[in-house]
Structure 1
Amino acid sequence: MRAAVFQGVEQPLEVEEVDEPDCPEHGVVVETEACGICRSDWHAWRGDWDWIGVMPTPGLIFGHEPCGRVVEVGDRVETVNEGDLVTNPFNLGCGSCHHCRSGRSNVCERSVPMGFIPIQKGAFAEYYSVREADQNVVVLPDDADPTAVAGLGCRFATAFHGLVHRVDVTAGDWVAVHGCGGVGLSAVHVADALGANVIAVDLDETKLDRALDLGADRTVDVTAVEDVPQAVKKHTANSRGVDVSVDALGIADTVQNSVNSLGKTGQHLQIGMTTSEEGGEVSLPVDTMVTDEREFYGSYGCPQVEYEEIFRMMDTGKLDPGRIVGETVSLDDVPAVIENLGDYDTVGIPVCTEF
């Protein structure tokens, strides 16, 4: 089969002929119909995240936002059938640890991140496998649009999990989203669907316009203000600060701006992961967080059990992940798209749809 194969840190991926994946007895093999191209792929390609144990080796196949149709089912699988249209979270759970049993498989004790380690290659390929299918595979309605749901593997679902299940967003709350890439725009769309007043923050006017289309009520262009947190706070009642602030990028400036945009008892939601510049560490105003009782939360993927909530909101038109898709490309385009993510000028989610 054809696949885009990692050659080494910051070396262009090569589209090569490789062996098709074997079907695990507890897993499935899926023919790929779409796969989102995520900034996390770019982080791995750059060699970021060795501080959390992500160290890709040549021969790895990236791609962790897949959608496709099942072509082979392992002997021990009970809930997935050949021909099903499926997706899956990027962080695959074991199905038996405490977290998996309690509905929090996204933080599984033995989580396997798809497309980041050799034992679970990804979906920038004609076929991919999914381990522990009964735990990890999400069967989609047969008429679902694979391109529209590709972001459910990571970005859209991570934003949903964070805003719905990690922090407390209620109608009328002020929610700031710092960074309007794919996951940031997803957060804008989800927060709007929850009834929040949304402030989108970015340095790219095109991305801010897209955020307005997706439900943002106010925008802050960071190139036009001297103090980003104060500019955010001015949009809130009595400039008291936002109730929830999301960092959807992961650089030190956006993490700090997000925390400093909060009002008293506000909640910060960290979705963006850091680069080698930060190495996983960012300084924070700890004393102010204590005296204001501000809270810091992380969102890492989305448990499989929460996907049904997304689908119900999609059925009524409250959520439409397809609106976040920025462009569709072929497998041959994937290497260049990943490299160009470092320019930070991609609007929405790029999705590979031709393999």
Structure 2
Amino acid sequence: MKGFVFHGPGQASWQDVPDPAVKEPTDAIVKVGVVTICGTDLHILKGDVPEVRPGTILGHEAVGEIVEVGSDVRTVRPGDRVLLSCITSCGRCRFCRDGSYGQCRGGGGWILGHLVDGTQAEYVRVPHADLSVHPLPAAVPGEEAVLFADIFPTSYEVGVLNGHVRPGDTVAIVGAGPIGLAAIATARLFSPERVIAVDLAPARLEAAHRLGADAVADVHEAPGQLVADFTGGLGADVVIEAVGVPESFELCTRMVRPGGHVANVGVHGKSATLHLEDLWIKNVTITTGLVDTYSTPTLLRMAAAGRLRTGQLVTHTFPLNRMEEAYDVFSKAAETGALKVVLGGEQHAEVAVPAA
């Protein structure tokens, strides 16, 4: 088979690799139908994630068909159409028993495309399959379902739920990339009074409007003042950080109201200053987190019922064998307008989704 193999910083290729095989009785082998590329994959290619060893197949999001299972797998069988979660769960350790699957100590957590071979291949081995794949409703196309492997549960759990979004809230989301856009869509499930999106790319701000943002602001045009104007000077009830740079985190802490919540979703590679000299008196709650994906079944049911539309986030599709080109398009999002790049599935040529 073929897979997209990391060879070291700045080096990766779509190449022949050995077929995966069942190693443990809890494993499943999945024929990959649809995959996507995550911003974390770009961090790996830059060398920012040293745990990923050269020779590893990248990717942690996919939709596919079960082709083989180990003797202990009970919840799926060959022929089942499934979503592969970005998080693998042993189901037995202390953290899994608490539903904190991202912190699994039993050989799970974020391992696909990180510590073991991932999903950007024709076939993939999934450890702990019973809790790490989800049967897919027929009503959810694979090209949309694949977004529930990572970005939707991440934005929902680490952003919206950790931020305690409630009806009537003002919610500010800093960063209108895929995670930020998914946060807009899932925040609206709680009927906030308004959602404000902040970014520096006009195309992403337009996408934020389409996904349900009530107002948008260029990061260079005093977004804090816009939030203050909407809230009578108080600040936002919830601010979601969806970028992962010091400047965006510090902007979030300036925009939150006393007693409000800052939910950090972005992956930070550098230190950010926490201005406790200003924040200590404001009763502000700051949360961080790696997604646990406990919400994935709920989100899939909502998608099947038409309550969550994900298709607008997919801007480009490719066949699997154009993986290198897809990475190039995704890595140059400022030039290409790429939000989510999907490979495989029913579409086999690059397309752009028209504005709605």
| TM norm. shorter chain > 0.5 | yes
Identity of aligned residues (%): 28
Is 1:256 matched with 2:256? Answer: no
Q: CA deviation at 1:237?
A: 2.1
For 1:353, the equivalent position in structure 2 comes to 344
With over 3 angstroms needed to count, the CA separation of the structure-2 counterparts of 1:127 and 1:96, relative to structure 1, is same
Give 5+ residue unaligned stretches, structure 2.
Answer: 349-356
Q: Which has the higher contact order (CA 8 A, sep 6+)?
A: 1
Q: CA deviation at 1:255?
A: 1.1
Letter paired with 1:171? P
Quick check: 1:42–1:339 contact (8 Å CA) kept in 2? no
- Equivalenced residue count is 341
With over 3 angstroms needed to count, the CA separation of the structure-2 counterparts of 1:274 and 1:338, relative to structure 1, is farther
For 1:228, the equivalent position in structure 2 comes to 223
Is 1:330 matched with 2:295? Answer: no
With over 3 angstroms needed to count, the CA separation of the structure-2 counterparts of 1:153 and 1:125, relative to structure 1, is same
Note the alpha carbon deviations across 1:295-330, whole angstroms, 9 max, x for none.
Answer: 111232233x42222123223322122232221122
With over 3 angstroms needed to count, the CA separation of the structure-2 counterparts of 1:342 and 1:144, relative to structure 1, is closer
Q: Report which stretch shifted further, 103-112 or 143-152.
A: 103-112
For 1:64, the equivalent position in structure 2 comes to 60
- 1:296 corresponds, among 286, 305, 319, to 286
With over 3 angstroms needed to count, the CA separation of the structure-2 counterparts of 1:165 and 1:213, relative to structure 1, is same
With over 3 angstroms needed to count, the CA separation of the structure-2 counterparts of 1:134 and 1:109, relative to structure 1, is same
- 1:306 corresponds, among 275, 291, 295, to 295
Note the alpha carbon deviations across 1:252-289, whole angstroms, 9 max, x for none.
Answer: 111111121101111111111023xx1xx211212322
Quick check: 2:160–2:183 contact (8 Å CA) kept in 1? no
> TM-score normalized by structure 1?
0.90
With over 3 angstroms needed to count, the CA separation of the structure-2 counterparts of 1:184 and 1:347, relative to structure 1, is farther
Quick check: 1:232–1:261 contact (8 Å CA) kept in 2? yes
> TM-score normalized by structure 2?
0.90
Q: Report which stretch shifted further, 283-292 or 246-255.
A: 283-292
Letter paired with 2:7? Q
For 2:275, the equivalent position in structure 1 comes to 285
What CA distance in whole angstroms lies between the structure 2 residues aligned with 1:340 and 1:290?
43
Q: Report which stretch shifted further, 320-329 or 167-176.
A: 320-329
For 2:236, the equivalent position in structure 1 comes to 242
- 1:320 corresponds, among 299, 306, 309, to 309
What CA distance in whole angstroms lies between the structure 2 residues aligned with 1:165 and 1:27?
31
Quick check: 1:70–1:85 contact (8 Å CA) kept in 2? yes
Quick check: 1:80–1:134 contact (8 Å CA) kept in 2? yes
Is 1:105 matched with 2:101? Answer: yes
Quick check: 1:154–1:302 contact (8 Å CA) kept in 2? no
- Give the match's secondary structure for 1:313: helix
The CA RMSD over aligned residues, in Å, is 1.9
What CA distance in whole angstroms lies between the structure 2 residues aligned with 1:97 and 1:149?
28
What CA distance in whole angstroms lies between the structure 2 residues aligned with 1:198 and 1:352?
31
For 2:38, the equivalent position in structure 1 comes to 38
Give 5+ residue unaligned stretches, structure 1.
Answer: none
